[in-house]
Structure 1
Amino acid sequence: MDGGSRAMIKSLRGRLFISLTTVVVLTGLVGGVFAHRWAFDEAIETQDSVLIQIAGLVQSGGLTGTQDLHGVDEDAEVWLMELGKTPQGTPEERQLWRLQDGMRDATRKGRPVRVVLRTRSDGSRFAVAQSTGVRDEIAGDMAFRTVLPIAALIPCLMLVIAFVIARSLRPMVRLADELDARPADDMTALPLHDLPSELNPFVSSINGLLRRVHDMMEQQRRFIADAAHELRTPLTALSLQAENLDQVDLPPAARERLAVLRQGMRRSKHLLEQLLALARHDATPSDRAQWEVVELDRTARGVIADLLREAIRRGVDLGFARAEPVPVRGEPVMLSAMIRNLIDNALRFVPEGGRIDVAIYQDGATCMLQIEDTGPGVSADEIDRIFEPFFRGQRPEGEGVGLGLAIVKRIVDRLGGSIEAVNMTEAGRTGLRVVVKLPAATV
């Protein structure tokens, strides 16, 4: 759930951010182009109005003589040009004199200018001129200042969009985190309060799926428990009959077949016991607050005492390498089953003369359960699969059915811990080391 859900959310966030920012940027660009064009034209018209106002002052006698003037700023480069009553002066001035009154485009000293031509009542003419390059520069500067706030607003809008998207998707992130933090067997419905209405159908569908999965798991648990109970009675009767046959004088061939039959029945009986243990474990309440505080070292001592006779029969040295009182929260039967299955698994593979060392200690807020054996270990391509149900690997010796370590893994997961199996690589030593980490209880 972790990688998939977060990738989906990130992808949705990315698509929303890219789409909205694209709209904002394109809108800003189009609006900026139109605003720049409009501001540029307005600035040109403003400068035309200035030229007309200056020409009005000259015509009324407010300004006389050829001189440099100023328009909207100090660098406006506006000139008053007296053209006389007849064409005179430079060819450009004579050409300018021949134009009609009004706003015209002309040249002065080889440069394009914008001029306003007027004729006085005495027949003399004059022109108020301004460099076209200066006009365009002033208009472009004014247009840039108009567009600058729009350009500065776009990054701000992008930040606002990112914030709004992150805030809007926060309920989805919270739901994903809640699902990631749940135990695998927690099928309680997701809450619908404090969620956007658009998410309600999605969450309701998930809740429906959780209910169907829960019903299916309950049906499976009941089937396993019922089947194990139903099979245990006839299997026990068959075992008793096989024990009775063992007292009868049988030929060697029949006795060999009887031994194979008894071995098969012992294995079937062990399978039923493991299935019943799995059903009892699944029926245990998931609420950790209801569990009691158990001394794990005391539980382990009881398990080792029960298995010690079997270890001696197999010629295996079973005992504690380190045993410290460490409290954990859980069901005593559940913890006993976890330790028993781990030690029983080690007993199946440790050769005669080997040893199994159990260590229990506390590391900070973590309870450490470590079991080391001197067996052959597990091949590198199988070690990651030993906690799978019914996996027995390349050495299916004995009466094991491949459920013991799977039950251990489910118990550890329910207790909120972790389990790891590694092959020991110390010099001159082989074997398997299984490390279980559980939250230590506060008492």
Structure 2
Amino acid sequence: MIKSLRARLFIGLTAIILLTGVVGGAFAYLWAFDEAIEMQDSILTQIANFAQNGSFRGDQSLRGIDAEADVDVEELGTTPSGSVEDRKLWTLRDGLHTVSRHGRSMRGVLRTRSDGSRFAVVQRTSIRDEIAGDMALRTILPIAALIPCLLLVTAMVIARSLRPMVRLAADLDASRPDDITRLPSAGTPSELHPFIVSINGLLERVRLLVDQQRRFIADAAHELRTPIAALSLQAENLDPVELPEAARDRVVTLKEGMQRTKRLLEQLLALARQEADPSVDSPVVPLDRVAKEVVADMFPDAVRKGIDLGFEIAQPIEIKAEPVMIATLIRNLIDNAVRFTPPGGRVDVGVYREGGHDVIQVEDTGPGIPSEDLDRIFEPFFRGKRTTDDGTGLGLSIVKRIVDRLGGTIALDNISSSASPGLRVTIRFQSSNTDVGSIDKIT
């Protein structure tokens, strides 16, 4: 079964054109064949008129006049004589007849002169049919040549007619996954308007549903922050209290659980903020300064774990974005790198310009990401095989959404070097500032 609308239209119209061409060509051939036969009958009649008026007689051959037509004038005399065919021919009345002469079918005109002598102007039917067939064939040649042209024009018209639909599908495919903007109906054929209206209605329902989910996540995370903060404070107040060793271990476990819950709430709030549409133009942010502030905040955690956290390079670069978005992006990258890098490892941060792009790069000496997890690593709450850490599975998802919103690209590469394996995360934004020269990529 053919599922393509374009193919179905082309096959259907092709069948109609071919059927019409064959039927029309057959009728044209038969009509032209009959016309050619009638024309040859008219020629025989005219020759008979000349012979009857005495312009020439049967001893004057007509072959030199029209060799292809093979027309002859036979004198039959005033009385029947000769062979059976001659006598039978003589007995026919004046006019057009199809007769047998010398074992061959002939078409002839019989006439009687004023002196009583009779003659016949004859022509072989096979010659007549050949001449008529050639003339009829020339008649249908234009139709045969027109059919391929019609098929080509049909294909072009179908392609042009369906181009708005193809363009609409391409625009939908090229849009961002979170883009639920209404489809424009201007410039599209009227036949597509009901389809576009239905899609816009579906997009509106999806937008309302997504907004409800965003509000629910943001409200839930916001409402939970206060009790979690209160619980954390109460747990901190237990530090100066004399407690048994078992109870002290349980308090430490409680603190870690609340810290993990607090981090989850912060990630959920950041996720809700990044999914909300910006209401104002973004300011210009010094990318290197934000990165340095985040590294300074994360430095104590790295020191406690024995990790060397610092900059490989930090060029002064400005980018148009919300400061909280850039800070959240860099914080999540460094937080992931610090948590998965073993003690004694290294996390290098780079901020630089390369080939017309502003680049943020974070490279660690951790275990990297399993290749089977790379395709899903940006999905919310996906943690892959690394389920022993205290992560929430939202960090890289938030990073990806921020990068997409800012029109950038992100690439994750496992470093296979035996000297220092790890993970390299590279984010590129289209540069709008050419004050700082480009540098070679950090490796």
Q: Report the TM-score when normalising by structure 1.
A: 0.90
- Tell me, yes or no, if structure 1 residue 421 matches structure 2 residue 412: yes
Residues 299 and 335, structure 1, Cα contact 8 Å, conserved in 2? yes
Offset of residue 206 of structure 1: 1.0
CA distance in structure 1 between the partners assigned to 2:298 and 2:277 by the alignment: 25
- Residue 255 (structure 1) aligns with: 248
- Residue 432 (structure 1) aligns with: 423
Residues 50 and 72, structure 1, Cα contact 8 Å, conserved in 2? no
- Tell me, yes or no, if structure 1 residue 148 matches structure 2 residue 144: no
Offset of residue 40 of structure 1: 1.1
- Tell me, yes or no, if structure 1 residue 396 matches structure 2 residue 387: yes
Offset of residue 388 of structure 1: 0.9
Specify which of 23, 27, 47 is matched with residue 20 of structure 2. Answer: 27
Residues 69 and 80, structure 1, Cα contact 8 Å, conserved in 2? yes
- Tell me, yes or no, if structure 1 residue 238 matches structure 2 residue 225: no
CA distance in structure 2 between the partners assigned to 1:291 and 1:177 by the alignment: 29
- Residue 410 (structure 1) aligns with: 401
CA distance in structure 2 between the partners assigned to 1:100 and 1:156 by the alignment: 52
Specify which of 296, 316, 341 is matched with residue 305 of structure 1. Answer: 296
CA distance in structure 2 between the partners assigned to 1:26 and 1:71 by the alignment: 44
Q: Secondary structure at the match of 1:437?
A: strand
Offset of residue 74 of structure 1: 5.3
- Residue 95 (structure 2) aligns with: 102
CA distance in structure 2 between the partners assigned to 1:72 and 1:400 by the alignment: 106
CA distance in structure 2 between the partners assigned to 1:33 and 1:176 by the alignment: 44
Q: Are residues 181 and 427 of structure 1, via their aligned partners in 2, closer, same or farther at CA, if it must alter by over 3 Å?
A: same
Specify which of 248, 264, 273 is matched with residue 266 of structure 2. Answer: 273
- Residue 227 (structure 1) aligns with: 220
Q: Are residues 82 and 94 of structure 1, via their aligned partners in 2, closer, same or farther at CA, if it must alter by over 3 Å?
A: same
- Residue 354 (structure 1) aligns with: 345
- Residue 3 (structure 1) aligns with: none
Offset of residue 275 of structure 1: 0.6
Summarize deviations over 1:28-79 as a string: whole Å, max 9, x none. 1111111111111111111111111211221122221234437996522211
- Residue 5 (structure 1) aligns with: none
Q: Which amino acid aligns with 2:382?
A: F
**Which has the larger displacement, 187-196 or 361-370?**
361-370
- Report 1:113-124 matches (<5 A): 113-124=106-117
Q: Report the TM-score when normalising by structure 2.
A: 0.90
Task: Determine what percentage of the aligned residue pairs are the same residue.
Answer: 61
Residues 28 and 154, structure 1, Cα contact 8 Å, conserved in 2? yes
- Residue 84 (structure 1) aligns with: 77
Q: Which amino acid aligns with 1:393?
A: G
Residues 87 and 94, structure 1, Cα contact 8 Å, conserved in 2? yes
Residues 374 and 432, structure 1, Cα contact 8 Å, conserved in 2? yes
Residues 51 and 71, structure 1, Cα contact 8 Å, conserved in 2? no
- Residue 56 (structure 1) aligns with: 49
Q: Which amino acid aligns with 2:424?
A: R
Summarize deviations over 1:68-103 as a string: whole Å, max 9, x none. 437996522211122222344566545533444332
- Report 1:28-47 matches (<5 A): 28-47=21-40
Residues 387 and 409, structure 1, Cα contact 8 Å, conserved in 2? yes
Offset of residue 360 of structure 1: 3.2
The RMSD of aligned alpha carbons is 2.4
Specify which of 287, 291, 295 is matched with residue 282 of structure 2. Answer: 291
- Residue 207 (structure 1) aligns with: 200
- Tell me, yes or no, if structure 1 residue 386 matches structure 2 residue 377: yes
Summarize deviations over 1:232-266 as a string: whole Å, max 9, x none. 11111111111122322222222222222221111
Q: Secondary structure at the match of 2:22?
A: helix
Q: Are residues 298 and 162 of structure 1, via their aligned partners in 2, closer, same or farther at CA, if it must alter by over 3 Å?
A: farther
Extract unaligned runs of 5+ from structure 2: 435-443
Summarize deviations over 1:255-314 as a string: whole Å, max 9, x none. 222222221111111000001111121224188xx3334343333222222222222221
Residues 71 and 78, structure 1, Cα contact 8 Å, conserved in 2? no
CA distance in structure 2 between the partners assigned to 1:218 and 1:295 by the alignment: 31
- Residue 169 (structure 1) aligns with: 162
Q: Are residues 71 and 173 of structure 1, via their aligned partners in 2, closer, same or farther at CA, if it must alter by over 3 Å?
A: farther
- Tell me, yes or no, if structure 1 residue 366 matches structure 2 residue 357: yes
Q: Secondary structure at the match of 1:381?
A: helix
Residues 329 and 440, structure 1, Cα contact 8 Å, conserved in 2? no
CA distance in structure 2 between the partners assigned to 1:16 and 1:72 by the alignment: 55
Extract unaligned runs of 5+ from structure 1: 1-7
